[in-house]
């Protein structure tokens, strides 16, 4: 039987079932119930990738820094710590929803989640679809290369002219690659760990990253090292990360802004340092 035939039969069965329920006056419990708005709800559903340490990752071990994802897994990381802190200030419970990076904004628009706290940068393109709070962290763009690479002493992004460079799909770290003259811009990796695997296999010469992430990667992989650029010689891009919310939730956005204003820069940096220290040896 073809997939289409199976689908058609399933759709017909569902249609007949729904018709029967209507004819008997039955109702589908919960289907018509409307969830309270994000501002009014006692629970904040936060979307993140859970695969981008030290911002977010998945672990099988529960701790005072984790939030349960399923019966077997927990979410941890800087974004989780930030979500918990915001929930504490707002008096709301926090629920983490693990999603693929490319599904985050769509899931927010479809009201599967209330906000995105996932190391996401506020860009002009994304602002067409969602609103952003003020930044909750500012990073630095660097390059990860092999420890024995000829590029280890690079001080400018232009030192990578002719090199094969990769970033993660649909991120600023892929978009900025073309600022390097004569670069071989490798097709973007679906996930950041995939880009690191390409680097270790020799398929690429460098991977664009933000500093906290690069620190964790190189600590877990001694065969890799970080290239930091001289002032004025690095990438030109926004290196901050912000919280994304629906355009229809200005009240909730205001709540988040108010909560963020109570978290000092010192506390934010301490949270990141702690996340870097406890992040897993490598992303699963």
77 has a pLDDT exceeding 60: yes
Per residue in 164-212, pLDDT (tens digit) is: 999 999 899 999 999 999 999 999 999 999 999 999 999 999 999 999 9
Provide the greatest CA pair distance for the chain: 76
Predicted structure pTM score: 0.76
Q: How far is CA 106 from CA 102, 113, 136, 250, 268, in A?
A: 8, 10, 22, 18, 28
Which residues face 283 on adjacent strands? none
Q: How far is CA 200 from CA 117, 144, 176, 182, 194, in A?
A: 29, 10, 21, 23, 10
Instruction: Give the per-residue pLDDT at 36.
Output: 75
Q: Can you say whether residue 114 is alpha, beta or left, with left for phi > 0 and alpha for psi between -120 and 50 degrees? A: alpha
* 141-227 and 43-138+240-278 share a CATH fold: yes
Percent of the chain at pLDDT above 70? 87
Written as six digits, the tokens of 203 are 């398929």
110 has a pLDDT exceeding 50: yes
By three-state DSSP, how is residue 225 classified?
A: strand
> Residue 217 CB: number of other CB atoms within 10 A?
25
* CATH architecture under which domain 43-138+240-278 falls: 3-Layer(aba) Sandwich (3.40)
For residue 221, say if its preceding peptide bond is cis, omega within 30 degrees of 0.
no
Lowest-confidence region among 16-20, 99-103, 263-267: 16-20
Q: In Å, how far from its chain's centre is CA 117?
A: 7
Per residue in 198-250, pLDDT (tens digit) is: 999 999 999 999 999 999 899 889 999 999 999 999 999 998 999 999 999 99
Task: Using pLDDT thresholds of 50, 70 and 90, give the confidence band for residue 124.
Answer: very high
Instruction: Quote the radius of gyration of the chain (alpha carbons, Å).
Output: 22
Q: What is the mean pLDDT of the chain?
A: 88
Indicate the class that CATH gives domain 141-227: alpha beta
On the 0-12 / 13-18 / 19+ scale of CB atoms within 10 A, 14 is: exposed
- All structural domains of the chain with their residue ranges: 43-138+240-278, 141-227
252 has a pLDDT exceeding 70: yes
Written as six digits, the tokens of 58 are 């998945």
């Amino acid at each position: 039987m073809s997939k289409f035939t199976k689908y058609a039969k399933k759709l017909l069965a569902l249609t007949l079932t729904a018709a029967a329920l209507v004819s008997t006056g039955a109702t589908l419990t919960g289907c018509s119930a409307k969830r309270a708005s994000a501002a009014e709800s006692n629970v904040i559903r936060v979307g993140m990738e859970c695969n981008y340490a030290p911002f977010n990752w998945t672990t099988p071990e529960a701790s005072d820094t984790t939030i349960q994802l399923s019966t077997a897994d927990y979410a941890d990381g800087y974004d989780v710590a930030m979500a918990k802190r915001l929930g504490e200030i707002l008096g709301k419970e926090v629920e983490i929803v693990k999603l693929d990076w490319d599904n985050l904004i769509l899931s927010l628009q479809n009201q599967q989640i209330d906000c995105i706290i996932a190391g996401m940068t506020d860009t002009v393109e994304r602002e067409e679809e969602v609103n952003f709070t003020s930044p909750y962290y500012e990073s630095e763009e660097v390059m990860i290369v092999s420890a024995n690479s000829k590029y280890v002493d690079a001080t400018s992004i232009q030192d990578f002219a002719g090199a094969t460079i990769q970033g993660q799909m649909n991120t600023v770290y892929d978009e900025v690659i073309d600022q390097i003259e004569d670069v071989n811009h490798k097709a973007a990796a679906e996930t950041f760990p995939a880009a690191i695997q390409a680097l270790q296999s020799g398929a690429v010469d460098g991977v664009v990253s933000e500093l906290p992430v690069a620190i964790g990667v190189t600590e877990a992989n001694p065969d890799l090292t970080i290239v930091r650029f001289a002032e004025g010689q690095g990438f030109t891009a926004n290196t901050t990360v912000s919280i994304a919310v629906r355009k229809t939730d200005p009240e909730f956005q205001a709540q988040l802004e108010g909560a963020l204003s109570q978290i000092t820069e010192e506390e934010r940096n301490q949270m990141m340092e702690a996340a870097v220290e406890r992040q897993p040896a490598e992303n699963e």
